[in-house]
Chain A
Amino acid sequence: MPDIDTSLASRPPLTAKHFASDQEPKWCPGCGDHAVLQQLKNVMPDLGVPPEDIVFISGIGCSSRLPYYLATYGVHGIHGRALPMASGLKTSRPELSVWVATGDGDALSIGGNHFIHTLRRNIDLNVVLFNNEIYGLTKGQYSPTTKVGLKTVTSPLGVIDHPFNTATLTLGAGGSFFARAMDRDGKVLRAILHRAATHRGTSLVEIYQHCPIFNNSAFEAFAGQENKDESTVYVEHDMPLVFGKFRQKGIRLDGSTPVVVDLFKGDVSESDLWIHDEKDSFKANLLARFFDDPLTVENFLPRPFGIFYAEDRLTYEDALEAQIALTQEQGEGSMEELLVGDNSYIIK
């Protein structure tokens, strides 16, 4: 096996362009996937990892075409199975930077089992989950994240399935990192992708991704100029939960109940607010439950974006390497030892 050259010093500095493959993206005009691809290309040069040490693995769906457009190693696998493929690769080659591009159908429906088990193992993967709340590639069927009531080709009278909340699912499965971003919010997305890359463990980044063809209004409540300020809150470590066009609103914990408070009234100040702590799993779980639909719920809690949770926890591959090292204290077993085994006998 060739040694990996991690020294980038001898090469010209990498730019986003170096990470563009020779293939033209075939996504629809206006699709959020373009924006996510751009931010991935932007963040790659910042990671200090040479392109040959980066692998993108994907399943099936619009977003799973992503590996073809990046000039790294890549495998476009089968539906739902990107995570186990990435897990096998990372376990076998821990020195590689392994990324997964997946969608709401790929990760949460057909690949749901792999999703929860990958998270609990905490293999050091960077998972970019493009959530457009619809099946795009197969032309518009509802997905496990589609809102109740949406009329699609397979739900002509409206969806009756209760949708998954990716955040609670991730934390419930024992995920060590969860962040949410909006496709068109480039700056935040880039920062989150960078953090995901440096987090050791499975980093789950859910991206609300616009599908202009089949689910055009899915994220309007959180994205439109009108609504965004009042319906979303951006969480940052050590910072109070403040939102609103004039930063006039905050979230305070009343016992374990989050309450929206008016900071302009004068009776509550920022120091009374919920201070975000990425290491606090209890608070992360509360935050994950902010899942109101601002269009249908009165006194809704704003939808959080940013890094909810980032826990330092031993990764699967590190634990495995440690066990191997322990058994090899006296050196790796030789072929002869292997063949003879420990229960052999000699006939004279």
Chain B
Amino acid sequence: MSEPISSTSKFTVTPKTSVSVLFAGDSGDGMQLTGTQFANTVAVYGADLNTFPNFPSEIRAPAGTVAGVSGFQLQFGSKPVYTPGARFDVMVAMNAAALKAKLKELHRGGIIIACTDGFDEKNLRLAGYKADEANPLEDGTLSNYIVFPVPVLQLTREALKDSGLSHKEIDRCKNMFILGLLYWLYSLPIDVTVEMLHAKFGKNATIAEANIRAIKAGYFFGDETEIFANLGRFDISPSKQHGTYRRVTGNEACAIGLTAAAKKAGLNLFLGSYPITPATEILQTLAKMKKFGVKTFQAEDEIAGIVSSIGAAYGGALAATNTSGPGLALKTEALGLAVMLELPLVVINVQRGGPSTGLPTKPEQSDLMMAMYGRHGDAPMPILAAHSPVDCFYTTYEASRIAIEHMTPVICLTDGYLALSSEPWKVESAENLSDINPHFSTERSPEDPPFLPYKRDERHVRPWAIPGTKGLEHRIGGLEKQHETGHVSTDPDNHELMTRLRAEKIEKIADSIPLQTIDNGPDKGDLLILGWGSSYGAIKTAVEQALEKGHSVAHAHLRYLNPFPKNLGELMGNFRQVLIPENNSGQLVHLIRDKYLFAPVSFTKVKGLPFNEMEILEKITDIIKEH
């Protein structure tokens, strides 16, 4: 440890397998930074973790109000952790508003570390406590929790009184005091944050030193005061195998996945995009990847975003566009063009609550039907969905492979929950990534027979003929084309043939994708939970618990939503019932019922919130009980 820190070890240290912590405070309290630093330390320490930021919809909501509460939630553990936790075990409340906004999500018996300076009369009023209401820290209403009132601001000021910083600068260090206290509570080292502070404030050593002092003050406060005497400290043993890791959010993972796919295929990556919550970080991340030859084009609108990508695809790039629901709606006409042109295109749709502007900052899984059917004409398109932040990498990579090798636009669904959540990723090695083979047509001479841009191979895939290739000059467009020649054709039989060939091309992708597997549980049994997308962690955890209870349940999670894996019908047939949890009004249920002609049980949640494991487990228990 670069900054040795010793504690007197007078407290008991209780081992724990997992803990969920929430840092909550005002937007200006630096909770995202504090949470991120805590997460980095936990990651480097070697525990598994999953994080989820929860910030206000407004950029600068009024200070001290419930609307202005910014939260950062994480769960970490000595065993694999799949969600940020259904409920928190520990909650840091920097002010009264934070407590008010988040208390309902704290476990009964959970720990509250309250910054008492944020509970003065003004803060109580701003948080909406009435004048005649007592301070919740003092009136006994929190008797079901373990409350630690800590005068964080006062202690920080005291620790930094001769630091040479202004009052304002000193006050800004209070989040580091809390961070230090939490490090102490969970027996974690402080050096990761110390290194970060040195790097961040390298030129301004005074500020770096002050922040480090604040961390240490928080750490020693835990060690020296008696208030934690009955609680003691906790320890979560590191669990990760050795290797190189990085912590990624879903949006970052999408950006890396696209770039890796382009590199593997030997293509340049082009992203045409328009900023939209919660998809924008994909554009932002790729804009920083010029070193890898990535070109980003911030278009004037969603339509130009996708159409510029279609232009780049025609030119031979791996082309992509990223968006969220309203943007996908605007892109639908161009999606039809991409279907008609039969060019590779990856469309990442980071789903959010809809319809219309809906809940821009909240996740939902309600664009499946739009992905499947949201185009005029018969315009089928492959659909994939990622199930975790890290899986965003693999799913985007696979979407790129399908787009390039099958000459088709592909929709890759994630959501606002995956987009902003993070987890450690054991960095993939380049060799392990599957090959991606673009099939470019090569030069022809005038003596060769005419080039046929729509002559298909056995998978119904047409060749990729890019400008700059001599002898392949050809014209394509959105008008229906004659089979093989690609000339404009209004022939009735030809249109029917082309419509069928385009559909069969998508169906044939099922030949090149893996069969569906059971993620956890038996191959046959009473109940199969069939999930897709970000509900993975909640279902995974719930099914683990149900199996421990001896229930006959299994979990399968779909990455391929169109076409479905070939064995899906058979796999579902091995269970008496199939339960489909979705953050929508039951969209996958429609597709399954339509294709396999049976009635799965639909379990829906449309609150702008992801499922948690308790809800899934409760539903499993209910269904099992009925039998």
B553 CB to closest chain A CB, in angstroms?
33
Asked whether, in the complex, the Cβ of B270 is within 8 Å of the Cβ of A92, the reply is: yes
Asked whether, in the complex, the Cβ of B316 is within 8 Å of the Cβ of A336, the reply is: no
A144 CB to closest chain B CB, in angstroms?
18
Is B442 part of the binding interface, using a Cβ–Cβ cutoff of 8 Å? yes
Is A53 part of the binding interface, using a Cβ–Cβ cutoff of 8 Å? yes
Q: In A137-178, which residues have CB < 8 Å from any B CB?
A: none
Interface range on chain A: under 10, 10 to 19, 20 to 34, or 35 or more? 35 or more
Query: Which one of A91, A332, A335 contacts B430 once the chains associate, using CB atoms below 8 Å?
Result: A335
Is B86 part of the binding interface, using a Cβ–Cβ cutoff of 8 Å? no
Is A72 part of the binding interface, using a Cβ–Cβ cutoff of 8 Å? yes
Name the residue of chain B whose CB is nearest to the CB of A6.
B468
Query: Which one of A52, A89, A113 contacts B300 once the chains associate, using CB atoms below 8 Å?
Result: A113
Name the residue of chain A whose CB is nearest to the CB of B266.
A1
Number of A-B residue pairs at CB separation under 8 A: 212
As a 0/1 sequence over residues 86 to 121 of chain A, the CB contacts with chain B under 8 angstroms (1 = contact) are: 111111110110000000000000000110110000
A98 CB to closest chain B CB, in angstroms?
9
Asked whether, in the complex, the Cβ of A335 is within 8 Å of the Cβ of B307, the reply is: no
B311 CB to closest chain A CB, in angstroms?
3
As a 0/1 sequence over residues 251 to 270 of chain B, the CB contacts with chain A under 8 angstroms (1 = contact) are: 00000100110011011101
The CA-CA distance from A96 to B289 in the complex, in Å, is: 24
Asked whether, in the complex, the Cβ of A117 is within 8 Å of the Cβ of B319, the reply is: no
Given A53-B467, A95-B468, A117-B304, A77 contacting B429 (CB threshold 8 A): no
B301 CB to closest chain A CB, in angstroms?
6
Residues of B within 8 A of A50 (CB): 470
The CA-CA distance from A89 to B268 in the complex, in Å, is: 12
Asked whether, in the complex, the Cβ of A341 is within 8 Å of the Cβ of B246, the reply is: yes
Interface centre among B238, B264, B299, B473 (most CB of A within 10 A): B473
The CA-CA distance from A90 to B341 in the complex, in Å, is: 18
Asked whether, in the complex, the Cβ of B468 is within 8 Å of the Cβ of A96, the reply is: yes
Asked whether, in the complex, the Cβ of B292 is within 8 Å of the Cβ of A338, the reply is: yes
Is A225 part of the binding interface, using a Cβ–Cβ cutoff of 8 Å? no
Asked whether, in the complex, the Cβ of A92 is within 8 Å of the Cβ of B315, the reply is: yes
Asked whether, in the complex, the Cβ of B246 is within 8 Å of the Cβ of A343, the reply is: yes
The CA-CA distance from A338 to B264 in the complex, in Å, is: 12
The CA-CA distance from A95 to B307 in the complex, in Å, is: 20
Asked whether, in the complex, the Cβ of B268 is within 8 Å of the Cβ of A345, the reply is: no
Given A81-B307, A340-B427, A87 contacting B471 (CB threshold 8 A): no
Residues of A within 8 A of B44 (CB): 345, 347
Asked whether, in the complex, the Cβ of B268 is within 8 Å of the Cβ of A5, the reply is: no
The CA-CA distance from A324 to B266 in the complex, in Å, is: 17
B81 CB to closest chain A CB, in angstroms?
15
Given A88-B272, A332-B292, A52 contacting B468 (CB threshold 8 A): yes
Stretch at the interface among B475-483, B521-529, B601-609: B475-483
Asked whether, in the complex, the Cβ of B487 is within 8 Å of the Cβ of A23, the reply is: yes
Residues of A within 8 A of B427 (CB): 339-341, 344
Is B511 part of the binding interface, using a Cβ–Cβ cutoff of 8 Å? no
Residues of B within 8 A of A328 (CB): 290-291, 293
Name the residue of chain A whose CB is nearest to the CB of B333.
A78
Is A55 part of the binding interface, using a Cβ–Cβ cutoff of 8 Å? yes
A89 CB to closest chain B CB, in angstroms?
4
Given A52-B471, A75-B314, A338 contacting B256 (CB threshold 8 A): yes
Residues of B within 8 A of A14 (CB): none
Asked whether, in the complex, the Cβ of A347 is within 8 Å of the Cβ of B291, the reply is: no
Is A327 part of the binding interface, using a Cβ–Cβ cutoff of 8 Å? yes
Q: In A313-348, which residues have CB < 8 Å from any B CB?
A: 320, 323-324, 327-328, 332-333, 335-341, 343-348
Chain B contact residues: helix, strand, loop or mixed: mixed
Is A74 part of the binding interface, using a Cβ–Cβ cutoff of 8 Å? yes
Residues of B within 8 A of A335 (CB): 260, 263-264, 430
Residues of B within 8 A of A4 (CB): 468
As a 0/1 sequence over residues 578 to 600 of chain B, the CB contacts with chain A under 8 angstroms (1 = contact) are: 00000000000000000000000
Given A68-B488, A73-B473, A55 contacting B241 (CB threshold 8 A): no
Residues of A within 8 A of B301 (CB): 113
Is A67 part of the binding interface, using a Cβ–Cβ cutoff of 8 Å? yes
B392 CB to closest chain A CB, in angstroms?
14
Residues of A within 8 A of B474 (CB): 73-74
The CA-CA distance from A21 to B43 in the complex, in Å, is: 62
Asked whether, in the complex, the Cβ of A339 is within 8 Å of the Cβ of B430, the reply is: yes
Given A2-B468, A91-B297, A84 contacting B473 (CB threshold 8 A): no
Residues of B within 8 A of A338 (CB): 256, 259-260, 263, 289, 292
Is A71 part of the binding interface, using a Cβ–Cβ cutoff of 8 Å? yes
Asked whether, in the complex, the Cβ of B270 is within 8 Å of the Cβ of A340, the reply is: no
Interface centre among B297, B428, B467, B472 (most CB of A within 10 A): B467
B554 CB to closest chain A CB, in angstroms?
32
Asked whether, in the complex, the Cβ of B334 is within 8 Å of the Cβ of A81, the reply is: yes
Is A40 part of the binding interface, using a Cβ–Cβ cutoff of 8 Å? no
Query: Which one of A91, A116, A323 contacts B312 once the chains associate, using CB atoms below 8 Å?
Result: A91
Asked whether, in the complex, the Cβ of A336 is within 8 Å of the Cβ of B473, the reply is: no
Residues of B within 8 A of A92 (CB): 268, 270, 295, 311-312, 315-317, 319
Asked whether, in the complex, the Cβ of B468 is within 8 Å of the Cβ of A347, the reply is: no
Is A194 part of the binding interface, using a Cβ–Cβ cutoff of 8 Å? no
Closest 3 pairs between A and B when the two form their complex, measured CB to CB: A76-B477, A88-B308, A88-B311
Residues of A in contact with B (beta carbons under 8 Å apart): 1-2, 4-5, 21, 23, 50-55, 57, 60, 67-68, 70-78, 81, 83-93, 95-96, 113-114, 116-117, 320, 323-324, 327-328, 332-333, 335-341, 343-348
Identify 10 residue pairs between A and B in the complex whose beta-carbon atoms are under 8 Å apart, listed by A's number. Answer: A5-B470, A52-B473, A55-B314, A73-B475, A81-B304, A87-B311, A89-B314, A89-B467, A92-B315, A347-B46
